[in-house]
Amino acid sequence: MLHPFATDRQIGSVYRVDAEGAEVTLPRAAARPQMHLGQRVPRGEVAEFVVIDVGGFGIVGRIREVWVSANERKRVADGIDPATPIAPLGAVQLLATLRLDGTHIRGIEKYPRLGDPVYSAPPDVLEALISEAAEDGGPRLSIGTLANDDQVSVEIDPSRLFGRHLAVLGATGSGKSWTVAHLAEGIQGIGGNLIIVDATGEFHTLGGSTTHVSVSSTELSLPHTDMDEADLTAFLRPSAGSQLPKLREAIRSLRLAELIGADHPLVDERGLIHKADKRRSDFYDLQTEHADAVERAGSKFNLRLLGEQIECECIWAHDRYNDALFGGPELNGLGYCVSLITRIQDLIQTPEIIEIVSPFTERASVIGAIDSFLADAEKNVLCISLKDLPFVHYMREITVNAIGRHLLSLARSGKFRPNPLVVAVDEAQQFFGRVIGDEIITTRLEHFEAIAKEGRKYGLTVCMATQRPGDLPSGVLSQAGMLLVHRLGHGRDRKYIEEASSELDRSATQLLPGLTPGEAVLVGVDFPVPISVRIAAPLRKPESEGPNYRAGWQASPTQD
């Protein structure tokens, strides 16, 4: 049974009520906070939680403004005389209804009346609001403590935190990376499963049951056979008019060449298929026989021959005198494809690219590493570093999109229903809903966006971390059922998350610029009120510090 209405915690009374909130007197707001049963009672501070006694139950609110009347402002400016009390006033945002048995509901069951007493919310009230027991008595994940009361720990049922996706938002230096690291350690502690897509390599410090891998020209690869058509289109950037059909035909031909082998009469000694002046039926009969493999996205083909095979595809569909044969070279079509062929030749001559998409040696792929991790019961956190992955040719975006596609495919097959998986994507604005390309052709990489929209029902949820929430697609952020919002100074970003999240209103976003490093506002569909939380520091801090200019820039001797 809660006892939120202790006389020593009363800080004022209601004198005005409207549909948006209440205004209250705060006669002790100008005095120093007092102690009650060893607990600090603020007595009227901005962001302080209060409980209004409306008869039989309480209305939980938060003070969003404190002021004095016009005729008392000069006294405040001249300094407050403790012997002469003033009468501060406050505006309270009404948030939830609290019953004395500890249960609560979102919304206001009964509005306060004039004269209803206002109390500073005690710790047990706040704990009742945020730290309900987990479903079926399961584990709870420790987040930290209340920002204004370190005696109140914040522990959340993982299904409430991750069940409807989580967004960790905050400007540089606000503690966003620490939060992701702390969550990873918490997931390890309760035996959950987590994959971190680490854009900068800062989470290499994670220990315990963490598996660390890296996608690069010397470690894990992303073979082109693990790309779908959208990935290959983004990678090679063919024009939609003439280049894309020729590219598709060339890939089909090279897949067929792999299937029928170099000894077949249609395949030359290098592995190319030359159709010019050959019987059409010889080729199409083989293509029909092997149709499943030829059309399947993951079928093998030699990427290094792709440019030359496109050149082989630039022929007339029929011979001029014999419809049973392919025609000879078609120079106009070849001219249209020259830029694509040149681009492919440039790619295969770039070691840091070709070693990733078509490695000379048989190296493990990032998709294979994910499957191995999921099959290993001893490991429950996989950190995939993109630190050494080139930025050119959209390699990072394509790699993350391929990871998302594979995970979504596993999720749709029921892989994660018995044992849910969380995927944390750092610098999420680089990878969600990306449209890449140029004025000729664009490709949308949307598999992580699809996870945000439908993954929850399959047991696959995403934790998106970003310093620029305004760069996320609005449809993605609106899918996040829980937000951990660190300091955000940019007005556009604050307005964006206010519009995307119905739980984070304008009065709460106004607190964001004043948050200290490591402090965040926790808000979600399962939470009746936004809560300011001080995130516990991770045991192994990520390497997120910037350059040390003070140490690096030493004063040089004065030159004559």
**More confidently predicted of 417 and 56:** 417
Identify the residue with better confidence: 105 or 53. 53
Q: What is the DSSP letter of 263?
A: T
Q: Taking a C-beta distance cutoff of 8 angstroms, is the pair 236, 215 a contact?
A: no
What's the pLDDT score for residue 512? 78
Question: What average pLDDT does the chain have?
Answer: 86
Distant-in-sequence, close-in-space partners of 515: CB < 8 Å, separation ≥ 6: 147, 174, 486, 487, 521, 532
User: By percentage, how much of the chain surpasses pLDDT 90?
Assistant: 50
pLDDT at 545: 72
Cα–Cα dist 163/456, whole Å: 7
The mean pLDDT of 214-220, rounded to a whole number, is: 92
325: pLDDT confidence band, cut at 50, 70 and 90? Answer: very high
424 neighbors 184 (Cβ within 8 angstroms): yes
**H or E element that contains 424:** strand 421-426
Residue spans per domain, the chain: 7-130, 156-223+359-535, 225-356
Q: Which residues of 97-112 are buried (b: 16+ CB within 10 A; e: fewer)?
A: bbeeeeebeeebeebb
Contact yes or no for 122/39 (Cβ under 8 A): yes
**pLDDT given at position 132:** 55
Helix, strand, coil % in the chain, rounded to nearest 5: 35, 25, 40
Nearest to 45 by CA among 548, 538, 514: 514
Amino acid 134: pLDDT: 43
Amino acid 77: pLDDT: 65
Q: What is the pLDDT of residues 105-138, one digit of tens each?
A: 778 889 999 999 999 888 778 777 776 544 456 7
Per-residue pLDDT of 155-177, as tens digits, reads 888 988 998 899 999 988 889 99
User: 156-223+359-535 is classed in which CATH architecture?
Assistant: 3-Layer(aba) Sandwich (3.40)
Q: Say if strands 460-466 and 166-169 run parallel, antiparallel, or are unpaired.
A: parallel
**pTM of the full predicted structure?**
0.85
- What local confidence, expressed as pLDDT, does residue 133 receive? 43
Q: What is the pLDDT of residues 431-472, one digit of tens each?
A: 987 888 766 677 888 899 999 999 999 999 999 999 988 888
Residue 133 falls in which region: left (phi positive, over 0), alpha (psi -120 to 50) or beta: beta
* Per-residue pLDDT tens over the stretch 463-495: 999 998 888 887 788 888 888 999 987 777 777
Question: What per-residue confidence (pLDDT) applies to 529?
Answer: 76
